[in-house]
């Protein structure tokens, strides 16, 4: 059980971390908050946005602020799984040749999978084990990944030619999916000011270590959530299924498959992390509402009609949220 | 127990009460609503329930069901997490109550619990607002009570039966009771109807309007007063129905037979006394006792008992003569009245003879002519003509002011009058103000009562009485509705029975 002191320390650490990131990243509060939540929940996050919005900068800033090992993988169509997870290579030592494992870029604390949808599904799938089990299997060996570990992936929603949409199995591994929107006028002015004057962008100094992250994760998991709210989340998730009687009309019309149980876990965990970041001692309905879209939006599989009409998952989830009542 | 525990316990108790209230309201509304619908349906269908206490019992049953519903509702334990979450939402507590409850259940001693307890100032809010009194429960309860009130009100304020929809048995029974009452004991309340044989009593028990008897109990009245009032009415807009009077006919036949047997017995006794002298012999006393046992009228029985107790031969002779004269007077039809026989056997006292009512030996309604004794009446004296049952209370002595009117029995007399050729349909005629000493018995019934005579020769002869006016007059004298109905049924029976 976490102590009062540890709780205070964890809260202070993440206050500093949040300040460090937002000191570099202009705007994108939802994306920054999502990244921190994913970090606190031992999850991964998919950032979706057009190029040039600062997605990569966000990840780099976060890694620098935490003082963790950072790696970046630029996904391309010809990227192979071994390029990610590593491979056995023949080495010669004392006149003897033998295979030795050369770790790939996935062996880091913070992994940026940039434009993940440009790689083939085979290569994308190479990340599955690392994202979920925090291990990498090569040949007959399984290598554990160092904690804290987080994969932050980005994808470009508009440049779809030559891309490979993430398979459902993989996209379900992402705890959250945050949209990185275009900055506002004020934000854009601030961005230009920071990047075109003086020495340009200066990444923050580390304000937290791996132990701080692990401690904070423990604190997050101990945040209480009322049984009624847990049931509420379950009903919300069930309502995303078109076959469920509580599903709203839009879900019935446009959704092929709803969120998985992993989605319910994601909502509750993310809500806890959100409450932690807000300094609340318990999960509030507002916390659930704040993470509901990010946690479930990418888990809805639209049917043909939904895809054809381009129904935004956010609209579907808004419908679900409005229909399902907590009490 | 901590404040939080007390709050949770109190909230649970209040939630139980509210749940019980909701359930009780639903049950009461459902029960009383169904009861009210049933009562309304019964009233619309004119179905009477032969018990005085059915509506209070049904209402109490619904109330008991509501109480059971309340107990059942209280037992439906609300899920405490859901209840606390409801409180959280209602009081805008950010789910702190339910979260703290969760931590307490787990025995968690984490910093979060301390923080929650510090944040939750239980005295700073009124948790009862989170469990408001359910509107539905209160509304349903109030509606149920309202339905209960309506049911009770309806049970004690029955609608008068429609003029054209009187059950045949009721009409006959009520008419029989009325006719025998007015001949024997006009001073008694109408509900205490002597002289009705057991069979009639049993039939009377069938569908009688219960509240009517209650009202009559509470406010007795005298039928002779009613009839005297009716005698002063003018005829207008009468409407006659077709209420069958078979039961009345049978009853009246029995009464006539009893009277005839008694008359023969008294005449033989009188003849013996005159020839041999002395008082009543033991055989005669025995015969008279047996006859008294068969008489339906208490007054007749009382007169016979007085006779049996008398030992003075002269007094006995006088008493027999008096009784015979009464019987003769009742048996003799008025002069010139075609409807003779049973139809003219008025045994009851008239208004003028009120003091003689106690001397009446029978309560036979003589207004029922048979085919045999209505021969001179013709078709008018049909066997089912109850109008011949003249109410002696209506007999007037002014013969000159009287026309030979009557009920159906009197109609042929009108047909026989060539001056009274009528067109098809109905014409309105005034009833005679007075009647002679003899003639059709129908005028005795309709004396002063607004009647209407069918003008078509082919149509069945009938007279109708203006019940509207009759009822208005009776009600103006604070007569209960059921008594008015009884009078109306009486006239219905005697004026159209057998048609």
Residues A240, A321 within the same domain: yes
SS3 B191: coil
User: What chain B residue is nearest to A2 in terms of C-alpha separation?
Assistant: B110
Beta carbons of B62 and B31 less than 8 angstroms apart: yes
| Contacting residues of B for A228, CB less than 8 Å apart | 81-82, 84-85, 95, 98
| Contacting residues of B for A326, CB less than 8 Å apart | 85, 89
- pLDDT surpasses 80 at A102: yes
- pLDDT surpasses 60 at B393: no
H runs (alpha helix) in A172-309: 185-196, 210-221, 227-238, 249-254, 261-277, 285-296, 304-309
pLDDT of residue A147: 86
Tell me the C-alpha to C-alpha distance, in Å, between residue A11 and each of A4, A62, A225, B2, B492.
10, 17, 18, 30, 98
Per-residue pLDDT of B435-469, as tens digits, reads 444 555 455 445 555 555 555 554 455 556 677 77
Tell me the C-alpha to C-alpha distance, in Å, between residue B188 and each of B224, B357, B485, B494.
10, 11, 18, 21
Residues A266, A277 within the same domain: yes
Mean pLDDT taken over chain B: 63
Phi-psi region of A28 (alpha: psi -120 to 50; beta: other; left: phi over 0): left
- pLDDT surpasses 50 at B18: yes
Q: Which domain holds residue A54?
A: 1-77+108-222
Residues A234, A150 within the same domain: no
**First and final C-alpha spacing in chain A:** 31
- pLDDT surpasses 70 at B169: no
Instruction: Using pLDDT thresholds of 50, 70 and 90, give the confidence band for residue A271.
Output: very high
Residues B12, B132 within the same domain: yes
Q: Which of A222, A251, A270 is the last residue of a domain?
A: A222
Residues A194, A261 within the same domain: no
pLDDT of residue B75: 81
- Is B318 within a domain? yes
| Contacting residues of A for B99, CB less than 8 Å apart | 224-226, 281-283
Classify each residue of B314-339 as buried b or exposed e, where b means 16 or more C-beta atoms within 10 Å of its C-beta: eebbebbeebbebbeebbebbeebbb
Closest approach of chain B CAs to the CA of A229, in angstroms?
8
Q: Which residue has the higher pLDDT, B125 or B342?
A: B125
Per-residue pLDDT of A279-294, as tens digits, reads 889 999 999 999 999 9
Number of domains present in the structure of chain A? 2
Distance CA B370, CA B255 (A): 13
Residues B331, B455 within the same domain: yes
* HSE-CB of B284 using CA atoms within 13 angstroms: 22
Per-residue pLDDT of B370-379, as tens digits, reads 343 433 333 3
The helices-and-strands tally (H runs, E runs) of chain A is 15, 11
Q: Which of A181, A204, A222 is the last residue of a domain?
A: A222
Residues B121, B256 within the same domain: no
- Is B240 within a domain? no
- pLDDT surpasses 50 at B407: no
- Is A319 within a domain? yes
Per-residue pLDDT of A222-249, as tens digits, reads 899 988 899 999 999 999 999 988 888 8
User: Residue A296's CB: how many other CB atoms inside 10 A?
Assistant: 29
Residues B312, B437 within the same domain: yes
Mean pLDDT of B125-134: 78
Q: Which residue has the higher pLDDT, A265 or B59?
A: A265
| Contacting residues of A for B131, CB less than 8 Å apart | none
Instruction: Using pLDDT thresholds of 50, 70 and 90, give the confidence band for residue B361.
Output: very low
Dihedral sign for Cα A53, A55, A60, A62, please. positive
User: What chain A residue is nearest to B99 in terms of C-alpha separation?
Assistant: A226
- pLDDT surpasses 60 at A53: yes
pLDDT of residue B178: 41
Residues A263, A114 within the same domain: no
Residue spans of beta strands (DSSP E) within B317-470:
426-429, 451-454, 464-465
Tell me the C-alpha to C-alpha distance, in Å, between residue B311 and each of A132, B281, B317.
127, 10, 10
- Is B167 within a domain? no
Taking an 8 Å cut-off on Cβ atoms, the answer to whether A282 and B88 are in contact is no
Pick among B93, B110, B131 to test the A interface (most A CBs inside 10 A): B110
Q: Which of A163, A193, A222 is the last residue of a domain?
A: A222
Determine if the pTM surpasses 0.80: no
Residues B337, B445 within the same domain: yes
Backbone angles phi, psi at B427, to 5 degrees: -125, 155
pLDDT of residue B121: 77
Lowest model confidence (mean pLDDT) among B134-143, B188-197, B228-237: B188-197
- Is B366 within a domain? yes
Identify which of A46, A25, A15, A33 has the alpha carbon closest to the alpha carbon of residue A271. Answer: A33
SS3 B102: helix
ipTM greater than 0.85: no
Taking an 8 Å cut-off on Cβ atoms, the answer to whether B94 and A224 are in contact is no
| Contacting residues of A for B82, CB less than 8 Å apart | 228, 231, 327
Residues B147, B256 within the same domain: no
Distance CA B169, CA B208 (A): 10
CATH label of the domain that carries residue A261? 1.10.8.80
Instruction: Using pLDDT thresholds of 50, 70 and 90, give the confidence band for residue A121.
Output: confident
Beta carbons of A108 and A70 less than 8 angstroms apart: yes
pLDDT of residue A269: 93
Closest approach of chain B CAs to the CA of A316, in angstroms?
24
Taking an 8 Å cut-off on Cβ atoms, the answer to whether B95 and A226 are in contact is yes
- Is B362 within a domain? yes
Closest approach of chain A CAs to the CA of B86, in angstroms?
6
| Structure token pair of residue A52 | 């040039």
Residues A56, A197 within the same domain: yes
Taking an 8 Å cut-off on Cβ atoms, the answer to whether A2 and B110 are in contact is yes
Closest approach of chain B CAs to the CA of A231, in angstroms?
9
pLDDT of residue B316: 84
Q: What is the DSSP string of B289-356?
A: HHHHHH-S-HHHHHHHHHHHH---HHHHHHHHHHHHHHHHHHHSPPBTBS--GGGG---S--STTGGG
Q: Report chain A's C-alpha Rg in angstroms.
A: 21
User: What chain A residue is nearest to B108 in terms of C-alpha separation?
Assistant: A1
Residue spans of beta strands (DSSP E) within chain A:
45-48, 70-74, 86-93, 96-103, 110-114, 135-138, 141-144, 150-155, 176-179, 255-257, 301-302
Instruction: Using pLDDT thresholds of 50, 70 and 90, give the confidence band for residue B161.
Output: low
User: Residue B294's CB: how many other CB atoms inside 10 A?
Assistant: 15
Q: Which residue has the higher pLDDT, A311 or B379?
A: A311
CATH label of the domain that carries residue A36? 3.40.50.300
Structure letter (DSSP) for residue B397 = S
Mean pLDDT of B170-177: 42
Residues A322, A288 within the same domain: yes
- Is A92 within a domain? no
- Is B199 within a domain? no
Mean pLDDT of B261-270: 85
Taking an 8 Å cut-off on Cβ atoms, the answer to whether A284 and B111 are in contact is no
| Contacting residues of B for A284, CB less than 8 Å apart | 94-95
- Is B319 within a domain? yes
- Is A29 within a domain? yes
User: What chain A residue is nearest to B119 in terms of C-alpha separation?
Assistant: A281
Identify which of A8, A232, A40 has the alpha carbon closest to the alpha carbon of residue A147. Answer: A40
- Is A305 within a domain? yes
- pLDDT surpasses 50 at A69: yes
Taking an 8 Å cut-off on Cβ atoms, the answer to whether A227 and B112 are in contact is no
Distance CA B390, CA B396 (A): 11
Mean pLDDT taken over chain A: 87
pLDDT of residue B191: 39
Q: Which domain holds residue B11?
A: 3-156
Residues B263, B406 within the same domain: yes
Identify which of A297, A300, A293, A324 has the alpha carbon closest to the alpha carbon of residue A231. Answer: A324
Per-residue pLDDT of B25-50, as tens digits, reads 888 888 878 878 887 887 777 776 66
Which range has highest mean pLDDT (A313-317, B13-17, B234-238, B326-330)?
Answer: A313-317
Taking an 8 Å cut-off on Cβ atoms, the answer to whether A229 and B100 are in contact is no
Residues A3, A146 within the same domain: yes
Residues B128, B251 within the same domain: no
Cis preceding linkage at A148, omega within 30: yes
Closest approach of chain A CAs to the CA of B68, in angstroms?
27
Taking an 8 Å cut-off on Cβ atoms, the answer to whether B94 and A284 are in contact is yes
- pLDDT surpasses 50 at B369: no
- pLDDT surpasses 80 at B68: yes
Residues B145, B289 within the same domain: no
pLDDT of residue B368: 40
Per-residue pLDDT of A152-207, as tens digits, reads 888 887 766 778 888 888 888 899 998 888 888 888 888 888 878 777 777 888 88
- Is A181 within a domain? yes
- Is B399 within a domain? yes
- Is A90 within a domain? no
pLDDT of residue A266: 92
- pLDDT surpasses 80 at B433: no
- pLDDT surpasses 90 at A273: yes
Q: A189 Cβ partners below 8 Å, 6+ apart?
A: none
Backbone angles phi, psi at B9, to 5 degrees: -65, -45
pLDDT of residue B329: 63
Taking an 8 Å cut-off on Cβ atoms, the answer to whether B89 and A285 are in contact is yes
- CB pairs < 8 Å spanning A and B: 78
Per-residue pLDDT of B179-203, as tens digits, reads 444 443 433 333 334 444 443 443 4
Taking an 8 Å cut-off on Cβ atoms, the answer to whether A1 and B110 are in contact is yes
Tell me the C-alpha to C-alpha distance, in Å, between residue B69 and each of A181, A291, B476.
58, 43, 48
Q: Which of B121, B156, B191 is the last residue of a domain?
A: B156
| Contacting residues of A for B115, CB less than 8 Å apart | 281
- Is A102 within a domain? no
Residues of A with CB under 8 A from a CB of B: 1-4, 7, 222-229, 231-232, 280-286, 326-327
| Contacting residues of B for A226, CB less than 8 Å apart | 81, 84-85, 88, 95, 98-99, 101-102
Sheet containing B464-465: give its strands across. B426-429, B451-454, B464-465
Closest approach of chain A CAs to the CA of B30, in angstroms?
27
| Contacting residues of B for A7, CB less than 8 Å apart | 111-112
Residues A46, A175 within the same domain: yes
- Is A82 within a domain? no
Q: Which of B156, B183, B218 is the last residue of a domain?
A: B156
User: What chain B residue is nearest to A229 in terms of C-alpha separation?
Assistant: B85
Residues B309, B431 within the same domain: yes
Closest approach of chain A CAs to the CA of B108, in angstroms?
9
User: Residue B136's CB: how many other CB atoms inside 10 A?
Assistant: 12
Q: Which of B156, B176, B207 is the last residue of a domain?
A: B156
Beta carbons of B333 and B441 less than 8 angstroms apart: yes
Number of domains present in the structure of chain B? 2
Taking an 8 Å cut-off on Cβ atoms, the answer to whether A284 and B119 are in contact is no
Q: How far is CA B264 from the centre of its chain?
A: 38
Residues A143, A40 within the same domain: yes
Please, which residues bridge with residue B419 across strands?
none
């Amino acid at each position: 059980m976490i102590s009062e002191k540890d709780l205070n320390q964890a809260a202070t650490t993440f206050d500093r971390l949040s300040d460090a990131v937002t000191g570099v990243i202009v705007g994108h509060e939802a994306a920054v908050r999502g990244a921190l939540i994913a970090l606190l929940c031992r999850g991964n996050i998919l950032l979706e946005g057009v190029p040039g919005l600062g997605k990569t900068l966000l990840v780099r800033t976060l890694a620098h602020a935490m003082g963790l090992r950072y790696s970046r993988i630029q996904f391309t169509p010809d990227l192979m799984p071994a390029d990610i997870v590593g491979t056995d290579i023949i080495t010669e030592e004392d006149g003897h040749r033998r295979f030795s494992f050369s770790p790939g870029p996935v062996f880091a604390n913070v992994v940026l999978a940039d434009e993940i949808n440009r790689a083939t599904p085979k290569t994308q799938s190479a990340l599955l084990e690392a994202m979920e089990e925090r291990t990498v299997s090569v040949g007959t060996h399984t290598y554990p990944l160092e904690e804290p570990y987080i994969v932050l992936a980005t994808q470009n929603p508009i440049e779809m030619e030559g891309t490979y949409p993430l398979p459902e199995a993989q996209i379900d591994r992402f705890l959250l999916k945050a949209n990185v929107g275009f900055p506002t006028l004020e934000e854009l002015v601030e961005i230009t000011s920071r990047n075109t004057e003086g020495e340009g962008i200066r990444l923050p100094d580390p304000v937290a270590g791996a132990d701080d992250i692990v401690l904070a994760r423990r604190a997050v998991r101990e945040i209480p959530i009322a049984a009624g709210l847990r049931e509420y989340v379950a009903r919300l998730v069930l309502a995303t299924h078109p076959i469920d009687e509580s599903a709203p009309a839009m879900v019935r019309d446009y959704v092929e498959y709803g969120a998985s149980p992993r989605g319910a876990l994601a909502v509750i965990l993310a809500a806890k992390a959100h409450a932690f970041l807000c300094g609340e001692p318990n999960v509030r309905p507002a916390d659930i509402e704040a993470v509901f879209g990010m946690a479930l939006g990418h888990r809805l599989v639209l049917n043909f009609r939904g895809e054809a009409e381009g129904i935004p998952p956010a609209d579907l989830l808004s419908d679900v949220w409005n229909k399902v009542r907590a009490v | 127990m901590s404040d939080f525990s007390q709050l949770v316990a109190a909230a649970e108790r209040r939630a139980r009460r509210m749940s019980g209230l909701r359930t009780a309201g639903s049950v009461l509304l459902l029960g009383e609503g169904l009861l009210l619908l049933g009562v309304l349906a019964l009233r619309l269908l004119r179905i009477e329930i032969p018990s005085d206490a059915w509506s209070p019992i049904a209402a109490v049953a619904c109330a008991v069901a509501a109480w059971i519903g309340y107990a059942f509702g209280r037992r439906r334990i609300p899920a405490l997490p859901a209840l606390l979450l409801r409180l959280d939402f209602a009081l805008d507590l950010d789910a702190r109550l339910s979260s703290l409850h969760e931590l307490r259940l787990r025995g968690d001693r984490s910093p979060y619990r301390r923080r929650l307890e510090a944040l939750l100032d239980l005295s700073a809010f009124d948790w009862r607002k989170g469990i408001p009194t359910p509107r539905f429960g209160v509304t349903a309860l109030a509606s149920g009570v309202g339905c209960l009130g309506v049911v009770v009100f309806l049970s004690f304020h029955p609608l008068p039966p429609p003029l054209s929809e009187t059950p045949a048995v009721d009409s006959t029974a009520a008419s029989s009771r009325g006719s025998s009452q007015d001949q024997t004991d006009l001073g008694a309340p109408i509900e205490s109807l002597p002289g009705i044989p057991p069979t009639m009593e049993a039939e009377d028990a069938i569908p009688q309007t219960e509240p009517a008897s209650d009202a009559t109990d509470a406010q007795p009245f005298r039928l002779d007063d009613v009839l005297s009032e009716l005698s002063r009415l003018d005829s207008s807009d009468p409407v006659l129905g077709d209420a069958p009077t078979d039961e009345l006919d049978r009853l009246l036949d029995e009464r006539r037979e009893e009277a005839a047997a008694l008359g023969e017995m008294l005449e033989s006794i009188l003849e013996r006394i005159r020839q041999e002298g002395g008082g009543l012999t033991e055989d005669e006393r025995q015969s008279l006792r047996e006859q008294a046992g068969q008489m339906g009228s208490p007054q007749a029985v009382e007169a016979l008992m007085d006779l049996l107790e008398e030992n003075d031969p002269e007094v006995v002779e006088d008493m027999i003569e008096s009784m015979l004269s009464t019987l003769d007077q009742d048996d003799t039809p008025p002069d010139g009245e075609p409807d003779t026989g049973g139809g003219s056997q008025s045994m009851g006292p008239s208004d003028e003879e009120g003091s003689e009512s106690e001397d009446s030996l029978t309560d036979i309604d003589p207004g029922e002519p048979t085919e045999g004794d209505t021969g001179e009446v013709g078709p008018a004296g049909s066997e089912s003509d109850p109008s011949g049952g003249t109410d002696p209370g209506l007999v007037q002595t002014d013969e000159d002011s009287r026309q030979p009117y009557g009920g159906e029995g009197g109609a042929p007399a009108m047909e026989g009058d060539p001056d009274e050729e009528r067109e098809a349909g109905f014409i309105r005629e005034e009833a005679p103000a007075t009647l002679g000493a003899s003639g059709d018995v129908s005028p005795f019934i309709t004396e002063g009562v607004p009647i209407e005579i069918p003008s078509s020769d082919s149509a069945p002869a009938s007279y109708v009485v203006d019940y509207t006016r009759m009822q208005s007059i009776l009600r103006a004298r604070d007569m209960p509705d059921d008594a008015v109905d009884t009078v109306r049924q009486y006239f219905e029976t005697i004026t159209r029975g057998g048609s």
